[in-house]
Structure 1
Amino acid sequence: MLTARGMASSLGGVVQACAALRAGIARPRPIPQMQVVAGHDQVPIPLTGHPVHGLTEGYPVGPRWIRLAAAAFADFRTQPGAPAVTQQGFWTRCDVVVVLPSIRHQRFQTADVDCMPSLQAGVIAPLIRVLGIPVDAEAVTVVDAGQAGTASALVRVRERILAGEVQAGLILAVDSHLDGMSLEWLAANRRLKCDGQPCGLAPGEAGVCLLIESGTSAAARAASVSAVVAGIAYAAGTEAAHSMADGGRRLADAVASALGQSSGTTIFAGPLITDHNGEAGRSEAIAMALQLLHQRRLVAGNQVVIPASSLGDTGAASGAVGVCVAAHGFLRQPQAGAAAAVVSLGELGDPGVVVLTRAG
């Protein structure tokens, strides 16, 4: 059960951002450190992106992630149902999972390097100190599955809750495509949206915090439930085997698996919240998945929701953003459907799907 959420994004905290997304509002800004050419005269102008203004400018990768995650947690603490950091009893039975972009990917030039020790010392340990929660940093799990990381983290949390090892899980998902290294990598691979590359992505960044609890834990705290996690599917991918056609098939299989857990043979007609970011390859993969699902008579008449149209590409945070958007829809639109699916495809071909249903 999802009992509390928090977010740091270009559109503000979780309540403001989800309301703005619903209204189709965006707040793009020029990114001075990355110049692109525009118009017939090929005049250099700043790239357009979606930064969390005033929070991350000038920070490199690790500190940027920490600031985004800390801002999301600060927003989380203001929401109804969020436990106080002083509640030692709660945190001792809460799993903490941090979702990051894939450090196996070429983006960070670390594909053949074991980065976990430096990641633990340089990001996780200082993050836990900043958050102030009574949790041992060594016990924090890092999921580096990119866009599909939230689904992977939810699989872990669900397994541990069902096994009775914990009663809750705090998931912190964070990513930024606006640090210098990421921008250079995106530019080198011609993935940035500009005049010469209209089918590119607008770089964004976000931190998202999700609290998942067992029914017993939520009832004991009298916490209201925003949504119920009814189905989850995740499958690890490898860059060598990844193609967008293969990604579309794997994504369709993951959606079918998650829907099978939640609705059985019922045709799913709820919204599909995707990580489509404007790139042709990702669009093709999502379109192929939808076509296959229609052929299997698993979905029909679905609204496709694209948070990146307002927030830019938020990478590893996009799945958690989608969960927040789904929960917000349940709370703010009583007349809307009873279920939503968050559909993600990682850079390495990892499909991740989360099906949520309305509480009660």
Structure 2
Amino acid sequence: MKLAVTGLGLVTSVGNGVVGSCTALRAGLSHPSPLPAFTVEDEPGEAIPVTGFPATPFADGFFQTGAWVRLASGAFDDLRDAAALPSRVDAPFWHRTGLIVLAPLVDEERFGWSLQEMPKALESFYLRPLVSLMDVPIREEHARALALGHCGLAAALEQTDALLTSRAVDRVLVLAADSYVDPESLTWLASRHRLKSPRRQIGLMPGEAGAAILLERPVTARGRRAFSAVQVEAVTLGGFPEAGMTHAQLGRVLAESLQRVLPAHAAPPRFQGDLYLDLNGEAWRAQVWGHVQVLLAEQLDLPRCRILHIASSLGETGTASAPISLAAAAWAFFRGHTTGERALLSSISDAGQTAAVLLTRGEDARTA
């Protein structure tokens, strides 16, 4: 697999754009805010708002699919401006562009609906409104939606490779969005004891974000002189694990996913570089990663790796977390902040599905 990333866009709690967001992430900045719509008990008889990371003002007043549309369209606008993409008047360009939109895992307890009962919900309430708001003539047959949460990016990259190989399109636009700051999601998190609060120190802090990525074959990118700071080298997407798997078993599954994207004959032989994890403050994710470190001691040179987790600055951004990590890796390659020539993205969804993405410095970043 060789995919050049030729455009990026972000909407986060620390910036309404990829430049501002990545600069803030590099500096370790964060912008937590109280979420008045949901309170938790602090002292007996005293309630305080949960602290989260809303991407103000993009999703204010919107929730669920409405918030996803707002966040994803904001990220697309940022990408279109930064990459100087043509307007809707250039129909041939957009007719040859595929679109994959990424959504959270649809949990009926969280959203109040399911894909089993409403199989066309993603297309009706997310994909089509988003395309309408984007105002570019992408063909309906070239657009699709995936609901895989943290592992959505890996699935989108695999499907992008297949679409480009078939020559159905020349490029693929991936848009991702997620929001945990609405009252329904906060209630769902609290009911599952996943929410960090003054009386529960181990848990996640809710966030929301939108991300946009434009992908092309390197030769296509060179042909239209598109800038690329990062390149996707390998992707692996695991299946859904059996119910009741222990943290040690999940650690082995994730270790196998990471091992499959690492080249067998690389120099140096053990991976050195930036390692992006979707740790978010929950104990089970930390325990899974602890097992991975032991299992991959011969493949990962951890003392020479820089370990990053965007949740420390943005809170839990779910579906958007891996695309944001990819954008942060691209920014690091472009600005010369990396610890090596490769970056590794590790993901595990709430359902236990695992994914890994290997990135290398893009052609333009090598000469920048």
Is the TM-score greater than 0.5?
Answer: yes
SS of 2:312 mapped into structure 1: helix
Q: CA deviation at 1:92?
A: 1.9
Structure 2 segments unaligned to the other structure (5+ residues): 364-368
Deviations 1:114-152 (A, max 9, x none): 433122112111110000121134541111111011111
Which of the residues 5, 10, 13 maps onto 1:10? 13
SS of 1:240 mapped into structure 2: coil
* Counterpart for residue 30 of structure 1: 34
* Counterpart for residue 302 of structure 2: 300
| Amino acid across the alignment from 1:224 | F
Q: CA deviation at 1:335?
A: 6.5
Give the 4+ runs in structure 1 shifted more than 6 A.
none
Q: Is the 8 A contact 1:230 1:262 kept in 2?
A: no
The sequence identity of aligned pairs, in percent, is 33
* Counterpart for residue 21 of structure 1: 25
Which segment drifts farther, 282-291 or 199-208? 282-291
* Counterpart for residue 101 of structure 1: 104
Q: C-alpha distance in 2, partners of 1:172/1:15?
A: 17
Q: C-alpha distance in 2, partners of 1:64/1:86?
A: 28
Q: C-alpha distance in 2, partners of 1:345/1:247?
A: 9
Q: C-alpha distance in 2, partners of 1:85/1:155?
A: 27
In 2 relative to 1, CA 69–226 (structure 1 residues): closer, same or farther, beyond 3 Å?
Answer: same
Q: C-alpha distance in 2, partners of 1:36/1:88?
A: 51
SS of 1:57 mapped into structure 2: coil
Q: C-alpha distance in 2, partners of 1:298/1:341?
A: 10
Q: C-alpha distance in 2, partners of 1:35/1:214?
A: 48
Which of the residues 166, 169, 178 maps onto 2:169? 166
Asked if 1:69 is matched to 2:67, the reply is no
Q: Is the 8 A contact 1:2 1:227 kept in 2?
A: yes
SS of 1:116 mapped into structure 2: coil
SS of 2:263 mapped into structure 1: helix
Give the length in aligned residue pairs: 358
* Counterpart for residue 292 of structure 2: 289
Q: C-alpha distance in 1, partners of 2:136/2:335?
A: 30
| Amino acid across the alignment from 2:135 | G
SS of 1:31 mapped into structure 2: strand
Q: CA deviation at 1:103?
A: 1.5
In 2 relative to 1, CA 111–124 (structure 1 residues): closer, same or farther, beyond 3 Å?
Answer: closer
Aligned-residue CA RMSD (Å): 2.0
Structure 1 segments unaligned to the other structure (5+ residues): none
Q: C-alpha distance in 2, partners of 1:344/1:194?
A: 25
Q: CA deviation at 1:81?
A: 5.2
Q: How does 1:83-232 map to 2 (within 5 A)?
A: 83-103=86-106, 106-110=109-113, 113-137=116-140, 139-232=142-235
Q: Is the 8 A contact 1:124 1:137 kept in 2?
A: no
In 2 relative to 1, CA 143–262 (structure 1 residues): closer, same or farther, beyond 3 Å?
Answer: farther
Q: C-alpha distance in 2, partners of 1:287/1:310?
A: 22
